[in-house]
Every structure is written in structure tokens, then in C-alpha cells.
């Protein structure tokens, strides 16, 4: 990600506030990318994203640039998000046929508020969120946080609370302070650890080569990122369209895995505001988030419902669901994954 990531956590994490899911002021957003060869006979599909198009959507963009959507009979339009863009309303009103959240917790909260949407695929096997420290005061495990000064963005505090609860650690045993989105509080010894997205290569570079990373997946709290979702009605009545989108996107990610440098160049060609050199450095990390042993077994886009159940349990215990915890079976469907099982690449 580029420098705009300083606002990304705000845009993504603030969606976890209940009011962000109000259906008023629905907007479809503005498309900044249109497939090269529009086909008037193709089915029009709008994908509403949580944030600006960047390296997290590299496989989606490749699918468009390589004509993979067209091969499925689709005319796909990307509708990016941003600081003032709502993700859910366009999907609910039908202005977009599906959407993508940055974190699975966002959908769980929306569902708990009565919004009829379901996860049907997950692009990242783990959240890019991590804690960063230096050798003089290393935080290699959650237990290492005890007695340390942890700097975290206010909108991500719920994540820390959930991690501490999961690991039976009293929050009063560490010093927690609010910070912004740059890494300087760590380098100037104001805190012992800071938080941010591991894909933000440029921002993290200021910490230096001795940086120690504690990924969210290693804290014991499961989380999926870049989750694709649709309404209950769309899953029931338009499953084949969702399956066609997922087949194309999965093939785009497979091509990216095989041709990472070429994929980055296609993305920067489509979105010139991205920095080619930074994106080339970041793509290995992106692929590591998207492919692992489970995708080797179950295919790209798969997820484990048990992980969602665990998220619901932990977030319920810290009082994140103001309207009550959602039912697990209401939060996801595996139907679209089953329909595309033969076409989604099994790459570990």
C-alpha cells in the first residue's frame, strides 16, 4: 500500500461502529476502472469495495485486465471505497451486486445489526494487521506485551481487547496509548510496539531492518480479510452470477501467483497513483496472505466457519455486538465455494 494507508485503518475500522451500517444515504460510488472490452450482451456486475483499489485487489484487477470476467459473460465495474464511502448500502439497494470488506469482523457486526448479508469467499487467509517492535523491547508473543507500552489506533482498540481476552491477559498489565498511523512513536522510544498493516511497505520502512512482527494470526485470534459478501437474496436468487465472479477472480489470483511482477505492472497501469517500486516489494507479502496450506487443499477463496464462530464468541465477550451476537449460520454460505470448487486454484 502507499501513503494513503494512513487513512485506511480509519476507513476500515470505523466501519465497526454500529451507525456505519445505517442504510440511509446509499451510494454506488464512482468507478475508476472499466474493462477494456465492454460487451453489451454481458451481464452487468458492480463490485463495491471497502477502500481504494490497491495491492489487496491485485487478483481482481488482473481478472479484469486479462478478460477473465468477460470469459464468464460478465461486464464488471469496480466501485472503490474511501473515507466517506459506505460499503453496505449499495449492496443492499442493488446498486452493487456484491461487496468486499477489509475484515470479517465488519460483516459479523453488520449481521448482528440486522443487515441481511453473508460472506461467500475470503481473499486473504489472515488479516494484515500486526504489532511491530524492536529488539531492545521485543514483542514476539502476546505474553511479551505484559509490562510493555503498546501504541494503537483508537479505531483498532477492539482488536487489542479481543486479543488480550483470548490470551487471558489483564489489560491493566500493559500501558496502552492512542497513536496515529505512522511508525515514529516506536522509533522515538515513545512506545515499545505499534500497530498497522503489514502490506504498508513504505510506512514500515522507517522502522528499519531489525523490525519484529507479531501477526494477528499468531495472537490466537482468527480473522479473514478482503471478504466477499452479498445479500441473502443474491445468494439465493443469483448464485450463478456470484459463482461466475468468484471463478474469474480466483483465476486472476492464480495468474498473479504465477506472474507476480507482470501482475503488479497491470495494476499500476490501471491505477497510476500506485508506486511501481513499492508494489513490487509488497507483492510477495500479498501472496503470502492469500495462499497457504488451506488454499492448497480447499482452493483460493475458502474459509473455515469455525474461525468465524470463534470471532463471534470473542467479540461478544468484549461487548462488541450492541444488538446481540449474530447466529453463525446467518453470517456465511459455502454454496458459492462449492459451485466453483473445480475452478478455484489449489495453490499452497
pLDDT at 83: 81
Same domain, 208 and 313: no
Q: Is residue 199 a contact partner of residue 128, using CB atoms and an 8 Å limit?
A: yes
Q: Evaluate if residue 18 carries a pLDDT over 70.
A: no
- Is 347 within a domain? no
* 344 part of a folded domain: no
Domain count, the chain: 2
Residue 276 domain-assigned (yes or no): yes
- By the 10 Å C-beta count (0-12 exposed, 13-18 middle, 19+ buried), 37 is classed as exposed
Instruction: Please give the residue range of the domain that contains residue 105.
Output: 5-125+224-339
| Domain finish residue from 170, 191, 219 | 219
- Which one of 192, 219, 246 terminates a domain? 219
Q: What is the mean pLDDT of residues 235-260?
A: 98
Q: Average pLDDT, whole number, for the chain?
A: 89
Which pLDDT score is estimated for 10? 31
The answer to whether residues 211 and 293 belong to one domain is: no
Which are the contacts of 30, defined by CB distance < 8 A and separation ≥ 6? 79, 80
Are residues 11 and 113 located together in one domain of the fold?
yes
Q: CA 214, 283, 245: angle at the middle one, nearest 5?
A: 105
Are 154 and 116 found together in one domain? Answer: no
pLDDT of 35 strictly over 70: no
- The more confident residue out of 141 and 33 is 141
Same domain, 206 and 267: no
Which residues are CB-neighbours of 62 under 8 A, at least 6 positions away?
68, 252, 253, 255, 256, 263, 266, 267
How does pLDDT run across 291-328, given as a tens digit for each residue? 999 999 999 999 999 999 999 999 999 999 999 999 99
pLDDT of 292 reads 96
pLDDT greater than 50 at residue 90 = yes
Checking if the pLDDT of 33 tops 90, the result is no
Domain-located, residue 22: yes
Rounded Cα distance, 92 and 230, in Å: 8
Domain identity same for 114 and 257: yes
- For residues 117 and 244, state if they share a domain: yes
Residue 153 is part of a domain; what is its CATH number? 3.40.190.10
Shared-domain flag, residues 116 and 29: yes
Q: Are 108 and 148 part of one and the same domain?
A: no
**Is 37's pLDDT higher than 90?**
no
Q: In terms of pLDDT, which residue wins out, 236 or 13?
A: 236
Q: Which of 82-91, 146-155, 212-221, 277-286 has the lowest mean pLDDT?
A: 82-91
| 161 and 242 inside one domain | no
Check pLDDT > 90 for residue 232. yes
Say yes or no to pLDDT of 38 above 80: no
Is residue 348, in this structure, part of any structural domain at all? no
Say yes or no: 164 and 104 in one domain.
no
pLDDT reading at 209 higher than 90: yes
Share of the chain above pLDDT 70, in %: 88
> Which pLDDT score is estimated for 41?
65
**Across residues 124-131, what is the average pLDDT?**
96
230 & 114 share domain: yes
CA atoms of 254 and 263, how far apart (whole Å):
10
Instruction: DSSP for 63-100, please give it.
Output: HHHTTHHHHTTEEEEEE---TT--SHHHHHHTSSSEEE
Pick the last residue of a domain from 219, 242, 261.
Answer: 219
Amino acid at each position: 500500500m502507499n501513503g494513503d494507508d494512513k487513512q485506511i485503518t480509519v476507513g476500515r475500522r470505523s466501519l465497526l461502529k454500529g451507525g456505519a451500517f445505517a442504510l440511509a444515504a446509499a451510494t454506488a460510488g464512482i468507478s475508476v476502472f472499466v474493462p477494456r472490452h465492454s460487451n453489451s450482451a454481458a451481464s452487468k456486475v458492480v463490485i463495491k469495495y471497502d477502500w481504494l483499489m490497491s495491492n489487496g485487489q491485485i487478483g481482481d484487477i488482473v481478472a479484469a485486465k486479462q478478460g477473465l470476467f468477460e470469459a464468464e459473460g460478465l461486464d464488471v465495474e469496480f466501485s472503490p471505497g474511501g473515507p466517506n464511502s459506505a460499503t453496505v448500502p449499495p449492496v443492499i439497494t442493488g446498486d452493487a451486486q456484491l461487496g468486499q470488506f477489509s475484515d470479517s469482523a465488519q460483516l459479523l457486526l453488520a449481521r448482528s445489526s440486522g443487515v441481511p448479508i453473508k460472506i461467500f469467499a475470503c481473499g486473504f487467509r489472515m488479516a494484515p494487521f500486526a504489532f511491530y517492535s524492536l529488539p531492545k523491547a521485543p514483542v514476539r508473543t502476546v505474553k511479551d506485551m505484559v509490562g510493555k507500552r503498546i501504541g494503537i489506533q483508537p479505531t483498532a482498540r477492539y482488536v487489542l481487547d479481543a486479543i488480550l481476552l483470548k490470551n487471558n491477559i489483564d489489560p491493566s498489565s500493559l500501558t496502552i496509548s492512542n497513536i496515529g498511523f505512522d511508525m515514529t512513536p516506536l522509533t522515538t522510544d515513545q512506545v515499545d510496539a505499534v500497530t498497522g498493516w503489514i502490506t504498508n511497505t513504505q510506512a514500515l520502512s522507517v522502522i528499519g531492518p531489525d523490525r519484529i512482527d507479531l501477526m494477528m494470526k499468531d495472537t490466537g485470534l482468527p480473522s479473514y480479510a478482503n471478504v466477499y459478501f452479498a445479500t441473502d437474496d443474491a445468494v439465493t436468487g443469483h448464485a450463478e452470477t456470484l459463482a461466475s465472479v468468484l471463478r474469474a477472480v480466483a483465476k486472476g489470483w492464480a495468474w498473479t501467483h504465477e506472474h507476480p511482477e507482470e501482475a503488479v505492472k497491470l495494476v499500476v497501469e490501471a491505477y497510476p497513483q500506485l508506486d511501481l517500486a513499492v508494489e513490487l516489494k509488497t507483492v510477495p507479502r500479498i501472496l503470502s496472505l492469500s495462499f497457504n496450506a488451506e488454499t492448497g487443499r480447499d482452493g483460493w477463496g475458502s474459509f473455515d466457519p469455525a474461525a468465524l464462530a470463534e470471532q463471534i464468541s470473542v467479540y461478544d465477550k468484549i461487548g462488541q455486538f450492541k444488538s446481540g451476537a449474530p447466529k453463525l449460520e446467518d453470517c456465511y454460505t459455502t454454496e458459492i465455494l462449492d459451485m466453483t470448487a473445480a475452478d478455484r486454484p489449489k495453490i499452497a
